Amino acid sequence: MLAAYGALLSLVAAIGLVLTMVTGEFAAGVARPGFWLLAGLAVLADARAFIATGRRGRPVLICPSLCFTFAILLCWGLGPAIAVQAIAAGVVAWRMRYPPTRAVLMAAQFAVASTAAFGVLAFGSDDLLRTINASDAARDVVSVVGAAAVWLVTYQLLRALAGLTTRGRTTAQVLRPVPSYELLFIAALLLLAPVLAATAYISIAFVPLIFVPLYAVEHMARLASERDLMARRDPLTNLANRSGLAAAFNRLRPNGSDAAHDAPGLAMLLVDLNRFKYVNDALGHEVGDRLLIAVGQRLRSALTADATAARLGGDEFAVVAPATTEADARGLAEAITDAMSTPVVLDGLQVDITGSIGIALAPTDGEDFATVMRHADVAMYLAKQRGWPIQTYRAEDDHNSPERLALLTDFRHALETGEGKVALHYQPQVDLPSGRVVGFEALLRWEHPTQGPIPPYELLRIAEHTPVMRMITQRVIDEVIAQQARWLAAGVSLRTSLNVSIRDLHGEEIVDQITKRLAEYRVPADLIQVEITESALTADLAQLRATIDRIAAAGVAISLDDFGTGYSSLQHLRRLPLSEIKIDRSFVAGIAHNADDAVIVRSTVDLARALGLRVVAEGVENRYTARLLTEAGCDVAQGYLYAPAMPGDAVIAWLGRHPTPA
């Protein structure tokens, strides 16, 4: 189809050229010495045509000869301009190693655009360079500017039509906006032509001076092209950046329902390097940058020509590639893993490269770039949590659905305004040998205005990695210590545990807040206990240790929650200033009927006793479980056997009315 289009365009251009030759216009033009000078300069200018990298990664070619051929059009008519432009197109094709058909198509496009512009020039004077009066001059300026505009519009339309006739190109791809620097450069060449024509009319000796402004215009266009390219490139690895990745995604799956429906499937792969921070800390950022460059090179080597690799920042990379099935995407991920399996040698050291790869597919996991990227991000973080090299997105693993995000927004609003029913309830903790209440655990409760009570685990799961988690912790600290002060005033002195997240342990604000509130309410520090989850210790313990030590130094006890679920090292139990460990309810619930759970519970109790730690069992629902825990040597229990969590104001009355069962 493109060949037929080129043939038709060439026929139209040839007819225009023949007509100008028949009328004698061509012979009149070529008889002038100025014509030959401009023609020679046009061919010479195209010997170094301006080449930039377009948004699709393909070279964008702009021919400086346009300035000279448009001047010839103004001075000597259409025929000479078409002839010179055809020769210049041949020079460009030879330089760029284009096939002859491409040269013919270029020449034909220029010829038809010039013919359209020549038609507009008919509204000006018969001789543009011999202006009689001011009105003629104004009319000539308007006609020349109009001719340049028509040339530019016609040429862009012809390029778009050529794109539509190219197999595999969609309408959205063809109609994507042309880079601004390209349009400005072409417009500058066209508007320099009248200056060149007037210069040639006065004296051809001044014509070569046009190369100075021509070079300046080309230099500015080149800088704009490079700036446009750098806006889509990562300067360190020379891979695409997020903008370049989005452009690659949109090329493969253009906007619009029809275009997206016809587009092939694609895979988005997010690659996050493991333990990259240790390389930076141990060897320095310069070595870390060299490692990132090596990763970028290996990433490129693992991809086919139709795939795009990008660095999103830090040690996070991404790939967009055509993929019809999940198996295709996994095959690409495995190729990337294989490419990075060989250690990189940096300063004589062999550095192993491993990464976690999350995969999302379009259109299965989303139609637009933002959605597919977010789903790949969810899969990547899940891979890191599970210690797997590759993880494909599953909707059931996504805890960040729009509904959950809306829930988080409502909860934030409730915390900030106090309009929602956000409260703390307190669940008793009972000494197993004596049956005496020894403390409480503060548990968050929220009743949504329309959805009713929201399960705490659901709320904390979506808030864990957001600033809302810090708001929750601040609220809990303030309310627990204030409640302790009220209990002390009523004669009740029992320890209360409150939960904090890993985010809270990365700074010293939590320590300052606890000590400030303890002093403000005059609450002894030993009545407050901070619970940290065991999973937090799988992070960089060195960053958390300082905060944990400061909390303990303030006299506040530290409890390790959910013990047995976080895969932490036993060294943590020895190195951290812990007072107790809490056995996760999943093990407690199975102690009565699962021999493995019973062994885990007894082993945990023995280990804790050897280290001088108190043991608390969560989720005790019946007396039989309580008896087995007592026999195993467990110290404290909490659960519905004793009481559900209750508001703080109800604790004193409950202590008086409900003796604790032994």
State the burial class of residue 315 (Cβ atoms within 10 Å of its Cβ: 0-12, 13-18, 19+). Answer: buried
The three-state DSSP-derived secondary structure of 293-341 is HHHHHHHHHCCCCCCEEEEEECCEEEEEEECCCHHHHHHHHHHHHHHCC
How do 50-53 and 308-313 pair as beta strands? unpaired
In whole angstroms, give the CA distance from residue 535 to residue 515: 26
In whole angstroms, give the CA distance from residue 133 to residue 305: 61
pLDDT score for 528: 95
What DSSP character marks residue 264?
P
The runs of H, that is alpha helices, within 122-174 are: 134-164, 171-174
How do 580-583 and 557-563 pair as beta strands? parallel
Question: Model confidence over 4-20: pLDDT tens digits?
Answer: 444 544 554 455 555 45
Residues of the chain with pLDDT under 70: 1-32, 48-62, 124-136, 163-181, 201-202, 204, 206-207, 209-212, 214-231, 254-263, 281, 397-402, 420, 465, 534-543, 564-572, 658-662
Residues 128 and 140 sit within 8 Å (Cβ to Cβ) = yes
Closest CA to 225 of 193, 183, 192, 191: 183
Q: Structural domains in the chain?
A: 2-230 (no CATH), 242-397 (3.30.70.270), 403-656 (3.20.20.450)
Question: For tokens 């303990």, what's the residue?
Answer: 552
State the burial class of residue 510 (Cβ atoms within 10 Å of its Cβ: 0-12, 13-18, 19+). Answer: buried
Token representation of residue 81: 């301009």
In whole angstroms, give the CA distance from residue 60 to residue 92: 13
Q: What radius of gyration, in Å, describes the C-alpha atoms of the chain?
A: 38
Which amino acid, residue 99? Answer: P
For the residues of 73-94, what is the DSSP string, one character each?
Answer: HHHH-HHHHHHHHHHHHHHHHH
pLDDT score for 56: 46
Residues whose CB is less than 8 angstroms from the CB of residue 138 and which lie 6 or more positions away in sequence, other chains included:
none
